[in-house]
Amino acid sequence: MLYDWIIALHVISIIAWMVGLFYLPRLFAYHAGLEIGSQASELLKRMETRTYWIVMVPGLVVSYLTGFYGLYLQYYWLQDAWMHTKLLLVVFMTIYHFFVAGWRNKFREDSNRRMPKFYRAVSEVPTILMIVIVIMVVVKPF
């Protein structure tokens, strides 16, 4: 019963984290085309900060805590290749998270030099990672 609650919380926190990972680069794509100091630019800075600190960071932290606890309860999964693949992809997702944090800092400091096209392209990274992670967990192909 405890395991079911841990996994439910894990899935909820992953959804929150992923929402931020999908949404923030889209905000960056809009923000990158704006004049520095404009009203819209300042609004997007606030939206980006709130998305990062209120949605993404708690989602990341709770995902990790519940994920490790769930893995502790189901430790034998560490013998399976699908779990190794999933964990590696979660590491890549976490690295992407911190890239997003760095890009947010650039916007906050008005020092972004990237074009909207860049942010639209990189916004697909978490989608690809998520698809493979879900396949690993649900299908367990190896």
Q: What is the pLDDT of residues 6-53, one digit of tens each?
A: 999 999 999 999 999 999 999 999 999 999 999 999 999 999 999 999
Total domain count for the chain? Answer: 1
3-state secondary structure 72-121: HHCHHHHHCHHHHHHHHHHHHHHHHHHHHHHHHHHHHCCCCCCCHHHHHH
Q: Give the structural domain span for 25.
A: 2-139
Angle between helices 125-139 and 81-108 (to 10 degrees): 160
Q: What predicted TM-score, i.e. pTM, was given to this entire model?
A: 0.94
